[in-house]
A and B are shown apart, each in its own frame.
Chain A
Amino acid sequence: VNDLNRRGWFIKIMVIGLITGFCNGVFGAGGGMIAVPSMVHLLRFDEHEAHATAIAVILPLVIISSFIYFRNGFLDLGKAIPVAAGGVMGGIIGAFFLHRIPSKWLHRIFALFMIAAAIRLIV
């Protein structure tokens, strides 16, 4: 409850949020790539809490970003709707699965995806 009174937390949170928002806007993905590890290591969140909170953070950011993309004509709704339909199903299943995965493995799977993302960005 007194989380916010800890020294340096406020500034840390602000910086994490700023970078998360920037990545989400520019790369169209990957806000969580910043948010999750920084919440775990800088804010000392539990792994599961970090993942869950990251999604809650990214949701409003995604709404704003996609509005900007839409205004700039980068949004193909015809393709987005079927993807979204599948996404909802997968999202619910994934959210149910999250707490069944031990922190240690969550960490490793996340690392694997970070590497995949890095390779994608380089290639």
Chain B
Amino acid sequence: MSRSATRPSADSFLPLKNNWFHILLSLSDQEQHGYGIMQEVLERSKGKIRLWPATLYGALKKLIELELIEESDERPAAELDDARRRYYRLTALGRRVLAAESQRLRDLVRVIDAKRGIAGTEPAS
């Protein structure tokens, strides 16, 4: 049985787990190591989402098994490189899953916007 025949469709991963979405998002524009992913998610969420190390690497392990991300052999520019750490990047499947999840979220926002005034998006005042 060939690998492509069993490759799952991107939609089968949706909705994506919150942690997984943030990890994939962090890897969308560049390869990153675990520390980088943690920092980016922390900043992007303004400190609300913190991926603790064991949780983070548990998720990375699962994402590798699902072939959504992979370890990268390439290294960034020497001055930015941290030789101790492993770098991760999105696979093609991972990219498609991220796109599909983003689209799902966009659609969701559109639905919420259409219902403005009901869904509690009014200012608190």
Asked if chains A and B come from one complex, the reply is: no
